[in-house]
Amino acid sequence: MSKILHKALTFLIIIILSSFIVIEALILIAGRSTAIEKPDYVVVLGARLYGDIPSPALLERLEVSKNYLLENKDITVVVTGGQGAGELISEGQAMKNYLIDNGIDDERIINEDKATTTFENLQFSLNKIRDINDNSSLKVLIATNKFHIFRSKFLARRLGMEPYGLPAKIPPSIIIQSYIREYFAVIKSFIFDR
């Protein structure tokens, strides 16, 4: 191997490792943030269903959302997520069902049931909100798992919202894979989600 190729390969490895460390640090810090200003809306991001049953990751998102909504009875919530392969209903509908079953009034819930990505979750939720609220400076509290807060807030800012995070626990069985996958998702979102 030539010296130039060796140096180029070494430089590339250093760049990749450095970006991994920086991005993972940002993800970890964002997942711990608890500073919450009173939002205009709560947005619960979708995740996998098993038939019509929320996955463990989605259940964690729903639990923190439910607790917040029970304490803040004047806040409207947007549940967002389409229907994926193997899912009997949309993620949005499953989340709405869960919240209603756990004491949240149906009239407080806006169901967005078409989104298939985090960017679409936020974009389509914003469209639903804009149908009823033309406030140009919307504060949204995004409920999602800790590993997902950084990217969700970044994308919400890109769409013109003022985002805050409502971090949910991560099921132990998916912690490592979630953080690794999120590194690549942050890079993809930074480049393509506009």
Three-state secondary-structure class, residue 168: strand
Is residue 177 predicted with pLDDT exceeding 70? yes
CA distance 66 to 49: 18
How would residue 135 be classed by pLDDT, with cut points 50, 70 and 90? confident
Helices and strands: H and E segment counts in the chain: 6, 7
CA distance 15 to 21: 10
How would residue 1 be classed by pLDDT, with cut points 50, 70 and 90? low
Is the separation of the CB atoms in 118 and 148 below 8 Å? yes
Is residue 33 predicted with pLDDT exceeding 80? no
Q: pLDDT of 34-70, one tens digit each?
A: 767 799 999 999 999 999 999 999 999 999 999 999 9
Flag the least confident range among 1-5, 78-82, 104-108.
1-5
Is residue 185 predicted with pLDDT exceeding 80? yes
Class for domain 3-192, per CATH?
alpha beta
Q: pLDDT of 104-133, one tens digit each?
A: 999 999 999 999 999 999 999 999 999 999
Q: What is the mean pLDDT of the chain?
A: 95
Helices 175-192 and 118-132, axial angle in degrees (round to 10): 70
Strands 162-168 and 41-45: unpaired
